Amino acid sequence: MHPLLSEAHEAYRLKVRKFAEEEIAPVAAQLDEEERFSPELTRKMGKAGFLGINIPTQFGGQGLDTLSYIIAVEELSRVDGSQAATVAAHNSLGLAPVFEFGTEEQKQKYLPKLTTGEHLWAFGLTEVNAGSDAKGVETKAKMVGNDWLINGSKRYITNVSNELTLGITILAMTPDENNLDIPTTLLVENGTPGFESKPMKGKMMWRASDTGKATFNDCRVPLNNVLGQPGYGLKNMLKTLDSGRLSIAAMGLGLAQGAFEMALKYAKKRTQFNQPISKNQAIQFKLADMAMKIELARNTLYNACKLKDQGLPFGKEAAMSKLYASEVAKEVADEALQIFSGAGLFKNNPIERFYRDQRILQIGEGTSEILRMVIARHLGV
C-alpha cells in the first residue's frame, strides 16, 4: 500500500478499477473508433458515484477527499482516457468552481442535479484568441436591466455539447464603474436563448469525450448568475486550474500505468531468438525506467493532493505533478509501443489508443511550456 494512502483509499481504488475493467474496457475501442460520446456510460459513471466525488453528501456528492478523487481519475485513465476526461472535467472544472465560489442558492440549485450522472457542467475559458493567455478573453457581458447580455464564443470545451450538458461556467469581460473591462465568471444554462453549442469533431485523442464550441449571441442570463464577485473571474478560474492540474496529472499517471502493464505482460509473452523479449537487457532497462518514472509521478502527485487535503498551498506541486506526469505518460506510452513494435501499431491493440490519448496531456490546462513558467514564478524568477 502507498504510504500516503489509507485502507479506505485502496478499497476505493479496487472499486473504481472493477468498474473501469467491467464497464469501460469492453466498449472503449469502439467508442474511440466511432468518435462517440456515450451518455449511457456517463450515467453509469454517475450511478457509481464518480461525478461529484469531492462534493459534500448534502449536495448529493460522495464527500471524499482529493486523494480519493485522484485515485478514481487514475484508475479510469489506466483503462481509457476519454471516460477519465469526462469525469475529470466535470468534477474539477464543472462542479468545483460552483461549489467553491457559488452562493448557497446556486449550490442548492445546481449541485444535486450534477452529482447523479444525468447532467454535466462545462468550464469555458479558451477562445480563438485566448488559449495559454487567459487574459485575452474577448467574450463580453454587460448589464441590461436585470440581466447580463453575453456575446462571444468559446472553443475546445469539454462536456459542453452533449445531451447531458446542463450548462457552462464562462469567463467574460464585464465593464466596471469606469467602463474598464474586468474578468467575471457567469453561469449559463443550456437552453438559454442565444446560447448554442456544437461538437468539434476529428480529434486524434479522447475521441469518446465530448469537446465542443459554445457561442453566445445576445444571450441573456439573470444578474444573479454571476459566480463569485465581478472582477474576480480570472482569479477564480486560475484557482480552479490549480486543482484541475491534479486531474491531468492523474490522467498521465493512470495512462502510463496502463501502458506499462500492457508492455510488461507482452514482453514476458513475446518470444524472439528462442526466449521472451523480456530476457533482453535492452527491454528490461526500458521497463525499469518506465516503472521508476511512474513511481516518481505517483509520489509527486499524491504529495500535492495531501497538501491540498491539509489546506496547505499546493499550486507549485500541482504544476510540477501535471508537467511531470504528462511527460511520463508520453515517454512510457512511446516505450510501451516500442516493446509491442508492429503489434502496437494496429487499432486492435489498446496501446495504439493510449499512444494517441497521451498527447493532449502536455497541452490541456496549461501547456508544458506554460507549466514551466508557472513553476518558475513559484521559484520567484
Nearest distance, CB of residue 17 and ligand FAD, angstroms? 25
Nearer to ligand FAD, 52 or 366 (CB): 366
Nearer to ligand FAD, 93 or 141 (CB): 93
Nearest distance, CB of residue 247 and ligand FAD, angstroms? 11
Residue nearest ligand FAD by beta-carbon distance: 131
Dist CA 353 CA 206 (whole Å): 9
Regarding beta strands 165-175 and 181-189, do their DSSP bridges make them parallel or antiparallel, or are they unpaired?
Answer: antiparallel
Nearest distance, CB of residue 190 and ligand FAD, angstroms? 15
CA 181 from centroid of its chain's CA atoms:
29
- For the question of residue 365 being annotated catalytic, the response is yes
Nearest distance, CB of residue 275 and ligand FAD, angstroms? 42
Catalytic residue among 74, 118, 365, 369: 365
Nearest distance, CB of residue 87 and ligand FAD, angstroms? 13
Instruction: Compute the residue count for the chain.
Output: 381
Interface ranges with ligand FAD (CB under 6 A)? 89, 93, 123-126, 131-132, 156-158, 206, 211, 360, 363-365, 367, 369-370
Nearer to ligand FAD, 268 or 356 (CB): 356
Nearest distance, CB of residue 86 and ligand FAD, angstroms? 11
Regarding beta strands 147-158 and 140-144, do their DSSP bridges make them parallel or antiparallel, or are they unpaired?
Answer: antiparallel
Read off the C-alpha cell for 79. 483503462
Sign of the torsion formed by the C-alpha atoms of 113, 115, 119 and 121: positive
Nearer to ligand FAD, 213 or 286 (CB): 213
Nearer to ligand FAD, 370 or 375 (CB): 370
> 240 near 90, Cβ under 8 Å?
no
Nearer to ligand FAD, 61 or 97 (CB): 97
Nearer to ligand FAD, 240 or 278 (CB): 240
Dist CA 244 CA 267 (whole Å): 35
Residues catalogued as catalytic: 365
